[in-house]
Amino acid sequence: APSASPSPSSSPTVECWPTSVNIRLDLWPKDIWWTIYKMAAANETQGEKLFVKRSEEYQVTDAVSLKSSLLCLQEGNYQFTIFDRHGDGLQNTGFPPYRGYYNLASNGEIIFNGEWFRKSKTYSFSIPVLPKPSTIPSTSHTPSSSPSFAPTTITPWPKSCTNTPGYLDIYLDSCAFYEAFEGYPSRCFAYGNDGEAGSTPNENCCACIDLLKEIDSAPATVASQPPGSTSEEP
C-alpha cells in the first residue's frame, strides 16, 4: 500500500527571553513614559529600528508605586529610552521623601538601572544576556557542556540571616528594594545608614548585612560597570 502523505510540519517556534522593565514612579507619574526598539541586524538596513513596546499611560493614582512590564524579547540588539515631559526626570522629593528609579532585567541579570535624569535617557542592550561566569575554578578535565541561555528568574540576594519582619526604611521601602538592586550600584551604600540607630537598612536587611560582611572580609576592588551603554539628553 502506498505510504501516507507526510503531515505538514508545524510552524517553527521563535525563541525569546522574558525581560522585565520595572519602574518606581515619583509624585508626577503622568510625565513619565518609556519605549523599546529593536535595532537592525548586520544584514539589514543600518539605522532601522523596529518598534517593540511603549509603556502604559501612567495615571496620577500611580504616584510612588512600583510598575512592572514583562516582555519576551528575541535575540538581537535593543534600545530603551525613558522620557520625562517636563525635563526633570524621576524626582526624589516629597514628604516622606520618595525615590523614583527604574531597571531592566533579563536571564537573571539586571542589565541597567537608574534614578535621576533630565528630558530622556537611552540605554543600548543585547538579548540574550550571558549568565555571570563562575569565579570558582574547575578541577575537572572533562569539557563542560555548552552554556544554557534558557530564561531564568532574577536570582534573589543570598541571605545569611532573616530580614526583620515588616521592616520599612524611612522612605517606606522594604528590604526587597535593596535585594532588587543587588550588585551595581548598591542601594546599601547609598541609603543603608539612613534612619535612627537600630532602624537602618544596614541593620535590618540581609542584602545590606551580607554586603557589609563581604566588604569586611575581602580586599577592596573596583566596581565593574553594568552591561549596556547609555546616553542622556540634557
More confident residue, 110 or 215: 110
Is the Cβ–Cβ distance between 83 and 28 less than 8 Å? Answer: no
Average pLDDT for 205-220: 69
Model confidence at 146: pLDDT above 50: no
pLDDT reported for residue 234? 57
Task: Give the pairing type, strands 76-84 and 101-106.
Answer: unpaired
Model confidence at 1: pLDDT above 50: yes
pLDDT reported for residue 19? 93
pTM surpassing 0.75?
A: no
pLDDT over 90 for what percent of the chain?
24
3-state secondary structure 86-150: CCCCCCCCCCCCCCCEEEEEECCEEEEEECCCCCEEEEEEEECCCCCCCCCCCCCCCCCCCCCCC
Place 51 in a pLDDT band, splitting at 50, 70 and 90: very high
pLDDT reported for residue 18? 92
Average pLDDT for 130-146: 49
Model confidence at 4: pLDDT above 90: no
